Amino acid sequence: MSPSRIVFFIVAFIILIVVVQLNIIAVAFDKLGLSNHSAYLLIMATIFGSMINLPLITLKADNALAQKNPLFNLPEGMFGKPVFKGITEVKINVGGALLPVTFSIYLILHHHLLWYQLLTAVFLVSLVSYWISRPVAGMGIGMPIFIAPICAAVVSSMLNPEERAALAYISGTLGVLIGADILRLRDIRHLGAPVASIGGAGSFDGIFITGFIAVLLA
């Protein structure tokens, strides 16, 4: 593991301990029908899964945006920076994307949610996520952290008050995945990044954090 990954893991673990002590996890996932034990297992799996990126596709790319940002005009390989050779390898992060999507599917199967409610909520959050997300040179796609979860919570409360927590998590997770990642794939071509990871910040990525905050707000 690179030094940055080790630091990330330590920080994530410390934040997890703080969150557990404040009982925030229990409050959020109790709304989804999960026990404390299951919730903690999911969070731990997310943190460990954040260390794993699975290859998805490769894109022919340029570094048009990166050339405008002096912070990323470092010598190739410096500070562990991967060498950019005109190709961006798109990967998907296990903890930051695959696990939240899998949990969303679980919620869909175990909660009474009508198909039009799911489609409407995911569609609206996807639009908002696409609108507020922006390409960040040399890094990836960035977005404000609270707008998408607020949107997911409000829309879910209006569409299905009784199942608003589950619908908020699903629409927040899938909405950010679609709006800020999938629909932004063409922008990745111009980031000048040799590797782009969907959900790449693991447990602190927009996909995971949006679902978690949306449940608390719902």
Model confidence pLDDT, tens digit, residues 101-130: 999 999 999 888 899 999 999 999 999 999
pLDDT at residue 81 greater than cutoff 70: no
Distance separating alpha carbons of residues 29 and 26, to the nearest angstrom: 5
Q: What is the mean pLDDT of residues 191-208?
A: 67
How is the beta sheet containing 87-93 ordered, strand by strand? 53-60, 87-93, 195-198
Question: Which H or E element spans position 99?
Answer: helix 99-110
Q: What is the pLDDT of residue 83?
A: 59
pLDDT at residue 154 greater than cutoff 80: yes
Question: Where do we find the tokens 């996807």?
Answer: 126
Q: What is the pTM of this model?
A: 0.76
- Identify the weakest region by mean pLDDT among 16-25, 174-183, 208-217: 16-25
pLDDT in tens, 28-55: 777 777 777 777 777 778 778 878 888 8
- Identify the weakest region by mean pLDDT among 102-106, 149-153, 209-213: 209-213
Distance separating alpha carbons of residues 36 and 51, to the nearest angstrom: 24
pLDDT in tens, 170-181: 999 999 889 988
Q: Which structural domain range is residue 204 located in?
A: 3-217
Distance separating alpha carbons of residues 178 and 127, to the nearest angstrom: 9
**pLDDT more than 90, % of the chain:** 18
pLDDT at residue 13 greater than cutoff 90: no
Identify the bridge partners of residue 135 per DSSP, sorted by sequence position: 141
Structural domains of the chain, count: 1
Q: 127 vs 73, which has greater pLDDT?
A: 127
Q: 72 vs 170, which has greater pLDDT?
A: 170
Q: What is the pLDDT of residue 6?
A: 60
Q: What is the pLDDT of residue 16?
A: 61
Q: What is the pLDDT of residue 116?
A: 93
